[in-house]
Structure 1
Amino acid sequence: VKFARAQMTMLRSVIFCLLAVGAYSVEVGDKVKKDPVSYGFQAGNANGEVCSYQGTCAVDYVEGVCVSVSSGCCTGKLTSGLCPGSSDIKCCTSNGCSTPFGSGTCLQTSLCTGTSYPGYCTGPGDLQCCVGGTPPVPPTPTTAEYGVDVSTDMSAESASCLAASGNTYVIPRGYCSDGTIDHRVCSTLTTAYNAGVKTRDTYLFPCPTCSISADEQMKTLLNHLNTNCKEAWSGRVWLDIEGTQYWTGNTDNNRVWYQALVDACRNNGVTCGVYSSASQW
């Protein structure tokens, strides 16, 4: 009996130690198994510091996060010009990650052909550590048009260059995420119109956390366009749906607000489109 008790005490001590480091979980019947969620791991740099991200981004259909380069938070591919903030903040895609089940790459779950493990990558919930499988291959469109969306003034030289290079559309920002009009929108639309760019739409970056309703945000944008540059605008508004940091933090509330935005398109008689991505959606 003493031997059995000693063995039981030792077993409990071992289980307790394993639980203390967060590497295992105990189920009914004292069955012990590896559980990646119980690690509570957050992606960090080589110094063990937790990495944060300032937004999401994408390169060749692969989702990434906007991180600080100097903090050593990216071992994957770095791309400039896709993130807000200083030049130190760049888009990091295909970041390396490590799990108890092997090393992998941070990918959105829809692109992982191996096994996705949550909790080992900096970023939104569906950016997980993909272990095994083959690298993602971007889809090849059968037909395509080329163009740009911009959030700054476009010069006449740039517009002419775009048109001469075969770009068929320009989509400047018309409404900002802080709930205000981007007053550069008509200047860019007019410049693109004069340069001969075929399609000149605009995009609305909504503000779901503002006190202004979705319908009022749409009305404000349409009134500005129709008053100041109706001839230069092709008539379509793109809804820019991205960045969890810009939304309410509640999925149900986000759905309600987005539906109100879609209804605002219909109620105001404007043709709308949506651009987003898997993780941002």
Structure 2
Amino acid sequence: MKLLFVSLFVIFALLYIETESTLGLDISTTDCGEITLDQWKCHVNEGKEFAIVEAFRGGYQIGEHLVECVANAWKAGMKHVDVYVFMCPNCRGNNPPETAVKTIVNYLSEHNVKYGMMWFDIELCTGCWNSASENAQWIKRAVDQAKSMGVNVGIYSSHYEWGATVGSYEGFKDLPQWYAHYDNNPSFSDSWAYQYGGWTKPSIKQYNDHSTNCYTNVDVDYY
């Protein structure tokens, strides 16, 4: 797969230049179908510069409104748009992980979805996962498949979710890290919250689970 777009956002995330900071948002496949272009523009006008759109949700798979949602984020003036995927070994249609990843990446390519990076969402759900060691290896297979197709990959999780899902696994510490800690503080001052999985320098923090303006059913992020 020829990656359609490599954003500066990816490059800066890898370099981790903490003096450069900006705000953004992420949105689920469920809410993606409800947010209008005007609401996207509202977020841009209030200072949001990047968006991360859920492309794949476990057993529900590819989001129905994904193509339109990503297109509207760009059209509204977002400087960078990424996608994230939630996959799990016990979710319908997610096995083998290599096939599921191929389906996602090929869909994005075939529908001309312009994105800079794919984030793998690692968190708990009822009946989704197996043992920590099995989970880690399953995720690795998915990540390796995406990388083999030329996709820029990062990992989303939190201190608790990571430990509960893959234990002390550190196999992804060289990938960009996006972590969740809802302290409503757009900074990386909460070092304990991202010190898991071998990471020491995060790229993005999800610091609140809703926005106060425009369309509120989005998470807000600091980069």
Q: Which amino acid aligns with 1:262?
A: V
Aligned partners of 1:247 and 1:254 also within 8 Å: no
Match of 1:155 in 2: 36
Match of 1:234 among 115, 140, 143: 115
Match of 1:171 in 2: 52
Q: How does 1:108-257 map to 2 (within 5 A)?
A: 143-151=20-28, 152=31, 153=33, 154-178=35-59, 180-210=61-91, 212-230=95-113, 233-245=114-126, 247-257=128-138
The TM-score, its normalising length taken from structure 1, stands at: 0.46
**Aligned equivalents of 1:246 and 1:236: distance in 2?**
28
Query: How many percent of aligned residue pairs carry the same amino acid?
Result: 27
**Aligned equivalents of 2:40 and 2:112: distance in 1?**
17
CA displacement, residues 96-127 of structure 1 (integer Å, 9 cap, x when unaligned): xxxxxxxxxxxxxxxxxxxxxxxxxxxxxxxx
3-state SS of 1:175 partner:
strand
Aligned partners of 1:265 and 1:272 also within 8 Å: yes
* CA pair 257-263 structure 1, distance change in 2 beyond 3 A: same
Deviation at 1:181, TM superposition (A): 0.9
**Aligned equivalents of 1:218 and 1:194: distance in 2?**
27
Q: How does 1:31-50 map to 2 (within 5 A)?
A: none
* CA pair 246-187 structure 1, distance change in 2 beyond 3 A: farther
Match of 2:221 in 1: none
CA displacement, residues 104-162 of structure 1 (integer Å, 9 cap, x when unaligned): xxxxxxxxxxxxxxxxxxxxxxxxxxxxxxxxxxxxx7543211111122210111011
Where does structure 2 lack aligned partners over 5 or more consecutive residues?
A: 1-17, 163-223
Where does structure 1 lack aligned partners over 5 or more consecutive residues?
A: 1-140
3-state SS of 2:51 partner:
strand
For the aligned residue pairs, the C-alpha RMSD in angstroms reads 1.8
Q: Which amino acid aligns with 2:159?
A: A
CA displacement, residues 230-263 of structure 1 (integer Å, 9 cap, x when unaligned): 3xx2231111111153542311111111111221
**Aligned equivalents of 1:246 and 1:162: distance in 2?**
36
Structure number with the higher strand fraction is: 1
**Aligned equivalents of 2:109 and 2:63: distance in 1?**
14
**Aligned equivalents of 1:270 and 1:220: distance in 2?**
13
The higher radius of gyration belongs to 1
* CA pair 244-251 structure 1, distance change in 2 beyond 3 A: farther
Aligned partners of 1:190 and 1:229 also within 8 Å: no
**Aligned equivalents of 2:59 and 2:112: distance in 1?**
22
**Aligned equivalents of 2:45 and 2:127: distance in 1?**
36
Aligned partners of 1:171 and 1:203 also within 8 Å: yes
**Aligned equivalents of 1:216 and 1:271: distance in 2?**
18
Match of 1:262 in 2: 143
Structure 1 ranges of 4+ moved more than 4 A = none
Structure number with the higher helix fraction is: 2
Deviation at 1:207, TM superposition (A): 2.5
Aligned residues between the structures: 139
